[in-house]
Every structure is written in structure tokens, then in C-alpha cells.
Chain A
Amino acid sequence: MIAAEELAKIFAGGVRAVDGVSLSIAEGETLGLVGESGCGKSTLARLLLRLIEPDAGAIRVRGSDFMALSGAALREARRDMGIVFQDPFGSLNPRMSVARLLAEPLAVHGIGGRAERKARVAELLDVVGLARQHADRYPHEFSGGQRQRIAIARALAAGPKFLVCDEPTSALDVSIQAQVLNLLSDLQTRFGLSMLFVSHNLGAVRQMAGRVAVMYLGRVVEEASRDDLFARPLHPYTSALLSAVPEPGVTTTRIVLKGDVPNPADPPSGCRFRTRCPRAAARCAAETPMLRDAGGGHRVACHFPGAL
């Protein structure tokens, strides 16, 4: 569906937010993207839709060059794409009724006439589990979970094939998070969506994604099928990250990392994780590890991969 090669984005001050990331998402597949604050996962999500323009790299959507498009052609291509943001309070215009919020993408893409758009709004409300009479209300009249449903309906309005979800449940309570995750799963199956599911919540990613990529300081350090990644992490950072998540009623041995994430404007030489890695050696400072297949499509960027 979508493939990116060597994507890079450098922000003011030389911050290498995304630094040479390649990934692809197949039709109907959900790729999970995990990492901690500042690792570049949200920037990467926006780069894929060109909501932020990459400084380098290529993006292909269904085989054709997405980077070459502009103006009307770019808008046309974006009809196949949608995005759901973290904050359902900030992402919906408070002055627009739900009906207008959901009809706006249809108008932008010139889809349908008045009556057809009205019918589509009703259909979208059904799809995300809201009542049709909600159409005349405004965002402030809804709870956080309902607002996120509106944001999802809006992202789906033009009938996209590729949906980016950027921390879609991070602002929600646990009981509401479960409702929204179930809804996204259902929609993914029902419409055969390709999905990029970005989250710092590893449990949510495991719930949603068939394949998972882990980012650290602007790079993908590991990528594998869900089961492989959670059961047999090969990168020391992934091991540490998985071990750090406390689960109710489960006692785990934690791998505690030393120090903080380095400044992304001045990342360490070689492997960017080496300053905190319990396994770092001289080679890690000298030579940047490339993402390599360790067997069965399990890719890892580490000179000394394996369980910690």
C-alpha cells in the first residue's frame, strides 16, 4: 500500500527527528510504531502523508511516486488517506457541528451532492457507534471517547484505504480506550484498511498491529511480526522497553537503562542507543548498525543482537 525509503526530516536547530527510515505497509495490514517521546514516531507518521515535507527520501503509494505529486493530484491521492490524532479536543473545530465536521472532507474532495453527503454523515455516525441525532451537536457536548469517535468518522469520511492513528487512545481512560481500540480493529477488518498505529502504549500496539517497528532517536532499531517482537526482542532497547512496562499482577525483572535519551540535534556516533546500552562495545561507537534481517523477516539494527 505504502512504502517509504530513507525518509529524513531535520528540524530547525539541526534536530534529526527522522533520520533514514524505510518501512512499508501492505494492503489490509496494521503496522505498529512504538518508541518514547522524541523518537520521531509522530513526525514519521506525518511524513508518510506529507503533512510535513520530508527533507530526503522516497514515498510510494500503491507503486506510484507520492513525492512527485502536487496541487490537485496530491489532493486526489490524499482521498485515500486519513489520520486520527491523539487529542480529540484539539483536532475538532469547536465551532463546527458534527454534521459539518464529517461533511467537510467530502466537500474538499468534491464527493456527492448535498443529499448524498447528508446520507454519508448518517452512515459514518453508525459506523463509529454514535447516534444520528448527534449530527447537530458540537464537539464540547461530547465526552473524550465520543470525540475520538467523531475524529475517526471524519478520518474515514472520504473512504480512505490507509489510516494513520497517532496515539489515538493516549488521552482516554482505560475503560474508554478499550472501546476505541475495538472500534478501530473492527473498522480495519470491515474496510480492509492499511493502518499505521503509532503509540507509546505497548499493550495497545500489541492489541492492534500484526507487525511492529520500534524507533529510537529518529531511527527504526527493530521490526518484526508482533509475536516475534514481544516474545523474542533482539535489540537491547526493545528488551528494556518491554521490561519497563508494569503489568497489573505480573512481576517482571526490569532492565533499567542508565541516563537519558541524548539530544537529537547531536546524536551519538555509530549506534544511537550505545550511550545507554548495557552491551555497548567499541564497535558501536565506530560503526552505525544497519537494519538487517535476522531471519524470518525479523529485522534488527544492532551489532550484538539477542536477548538481554
Chain B
Amino acid sequence: MSEFLTQYAFLIVPIVKIVILVLIVLTVDAYLTWLERKVIAHIQARWGPYRVGPHGLLQPLADGVKFILKEDPLPANVDKATYFIAPFITLMLALTSLAVIPFGPQHFTIFGYETHVGIADVNISLLVLFAITALGVYGVALAGWASNNKYSLLGGLRSSAQMISYELALTLSVVGVLLIACDFSLRSIIDHQENGNLGLLGWNLFGFSKDGIGFTQIIGFFCFFLAAIAETNRIPFDLPEAESELVAGYHTEYASMKFAMFFIAEYTSMITVSCLATILFFGGWLSPFPASWTFTHYLPSLLLIPFGVWLIFDGIRYETIFGRILLPGVGAVLTLLGVALALFPVVNEAIQGPFWFLGKVFAFLFFYIWMRGTLPRFRYDQLMSFGWKLLLPVAIANVVLTSAYILWRMH
């Protein structure tokens, strides 16, 4: 048995990792919708989902059941093959892009097979991500075209025009980072931002480094994040689905699970973009504190324990009995987890990388939601002129500035 495992570990380990990651990502997607509804509700002084489960925590589950049970009508005169393929393309590409993201610094060996946190460690991972993003537009464009609906077609058209316009700025905005790191691999881009006691100043966003060849990528980050929001079709760039003008744009004619696939794909690409922004500009799993400040390693416990205790005391006063059991239960688990992290140095050390990585990713996801609750939608011509006349020149200027600075420092 163990011989078999050793021989086929190169096949089994990645498959197991893929299954685990997909399950995690789908759960996170589901709870991201909950978070989004909650945060926007609170921005608008409402409660948001509150009825299904304590604090609406079971709402994603109810939504999932609803998606599965809904009727899935086929509109008249659709282009059947394309209509069915489109949501699959969208979801497949969105999930595939997560494969090259490294989630933590650790390497470990299972049955003699050396592996790491994350699925594939390719040396052109950034290019792979861009390649997948480049193909991602087809799902939306084809869905809009195949639906045999004028609104959908407009959504699909807008989507392809928007993608063509913003992909340039997106790709050019990371050239600065590539010039500094001299590598396409996301893992080495993060490693390059590791500058010991410089802490967060060593991140590409600020661009200080030991060897002096670093240049602040604030402009690059600005271009990257704006272009990435446009690529993920989120507010204020959600022109392809603009519900007030196009009903729901490209997915007007989709119902049930097919609609859910578009939805999951959108949230998954939000996660991917947040991961990418974290890796390229915010040092990935690196702590923002200088390496000598080892006491900051207790920060995860310091966050988990008070939150857990608060959840216990707040939960026992909840209206429903189920809530009075569930909330303190979750609180107790979190508190214990925090205590365990503080007591076992090995676990504490292992959790540092993922903690900072996921923390930064969460901050970006929150920012996405925050923007949705704050900003209105661009007008179509504004969107185009913003992409071509502002974002693209600024991204090019960033490339020129960064390369000039690096050339000057090298001589």
C-alpha cells in the first residue's frame, strides 16, 4: 500500500489538494455573499440576512438549496451548445486560476513527494494567471451572445470591449513588479519582498530593499487594482450586468445552477484578484512587522481569543435556542484555537504565513464590498475613456519610471 502511495504520490497529492481547495473556495464564496449582504446592509443602516440561522449564517446554505431546486427553463431560439458551455467556461477558468496561487511559505513532504501550500508551483505562474484571465472573457461574451436577448447581447458586447481595454492596463501595471523581482514566479516575487527588518517597507508597494534596487509601486498598484476590478466586472465597472439598464446583462436568461455558476465564478475571481494584489504588492504571506519583533507572532491569538470570548457572551443572549447553542459553540472553538496557537510554538510558527496572507486577502475582499456599497456605476463612455486615456498612460509611465530608476541604481 505504502509502495503504491510512494509511486503515485505525484498524482494523488495534487488531486487531494485540488479537492480540498475547491471545497474551501466554494465555502468561502458562499460566505462571501453573506458577508457582502451583511456589510452593504450595515452601510445602508439595515440588518441584512437575519432569519435563516443566527445572524443569517445559514443563508448561503438556503441559497444553495434554492439554486438547485429552481426550474431551469431554456429560452426560445438560443444557440444551445454555446448557451450551455458559457457558464462552464466561466466557472472552470475562475477555479483554474487559483491553481497557481501560493498560499503559504511552507514546503512539506508526503510519501516522498515534496509539495507546498498551493496546488501548482510553476515558474511562469503570473503569465498563467494572465492567460486564464484573457480567456475568461469568452464565458461572459458567449453567454450574452447565445441567450438570444438584446440586453444579454449588449452585456456580452460591453464585457468584451471592457476586457480588451482593461487587460492592457492590467498587464502593464505589473511590469514594474516584474522588473524588480526579475521572475514570473509568484513565489519568488514574494521572496524578493522579504527584507528582514524592513518589514512592510520592503513590500513592492513601498519598494525599499536591501540591495537598493526597488522602486515604489504605488502607481502600479493603483492601475492594477482598478483594472482588476474592471476585469472581474464588479462595481463601479459592472457595465456587463448593469441591472438598471440591462436587466442583468449577460446572465439575464440564465436560471438555477447555471446562474449560480456565473455567481460563483465572479466571487472566485474576486478571491483570485485579492490574492494576486496581496502577492504582487503587499508581500504575500510576509508579516508587516520587522522580523525581530517576534512578539507579533501572538497576534493571531490576540485577535482570536477576544473575538471568541465576545461571541460566547454575546451568543448566549441570542433570540433563538439554535443561536444560543451555535454562537457560543463557535466562540468556544475560536477561543480554544487562539489558546492553542499561543501555547504551541510549532503551530504558531506554521500559522504565521497563512494568517497574514489570508488577512490581507480578506482586507481586499472587504474593500471590494465596501466599494460596492459606496460607489455608483461608471457611464459607458466614461469607462472607456478612463481605461484608455488615464489608466493605460499611467501604467506605461510607471514602467518607464521604474525601469529608469533601476537602470540608474544599477550603474
A and B interact physically = no
